[in-house]
Amino acid sequence: MRDCQRGEAMAHAVTKPLSRASSWLYRLSGGRIGGRWLRGEPVMLLTTVGRKSGAPRTVPVLYLRDGENVVVVASGVGRSRHPVWYLNLEANSGVNIEIGTEEREMTARLATEEERAVLWPRLVEMYRGLDGYQLRTEREIPVIILSPVRPEHS
């Protein structure tokens, strides 16, 4: 196994338990613990449906508000593969988000090229590490737009 692959495997092994612990603390504190990243960037909990298991999978992610929408990136810290939660979104676009104590059902979609061109600089301004992550990987880091689920009219 190449050093890069070995490093990614080790990072994945560490990320999963840290993600679970962070999600637990976030929920326990209503987002007071874990609701901000290193330089104050906002963090939310994103729950997807496992594409293989069908079980809920929750991860903390940085987010950007864009009107009523919420924008997230599947950076995977610049790893060569998309994060598992993004693969889950591809299989099922219905998600749940938690921002502090607020929970909302949302629908996820990949940003168009035009939307990405507008959103990427805003995301990098919020979290400067994203540019480095993009340089680290050959894949284009997906920008995902989460929109509120509209109640059906009867």
Beta carbons of 28 and 100 less than 8 angstroms apart: no
Q: What is the pLDDT of residues 4-56, one digit of tens each?
A: 555 545 555 566 667 777 888 888 898 888 888 878 899 999 999 999 999 99
- Residue 1: its pLDDT value, please? 43
97-113: pLDDT as tens digits: 999 999 999 999 999 99
Domain residue ranges in the chain: 3-148
What CATH class is the domain 3-148? mainly beta
C-alpha 51 chain-centroid distance: 16
CB 60 within 8 A of CB 44: yes
Q: Which of 58, 48, 66, 74 is nearest to 24 (CA)?
A: 58
The pLDDT confidence band at residue 59, using thresholds 50, 70 and 90, is: very high
- pTM attached to this predicted model: 0.84
Residue 46: count of CB within 10 angstroms of its CB? 25
3-state secondary structure of 101: coil
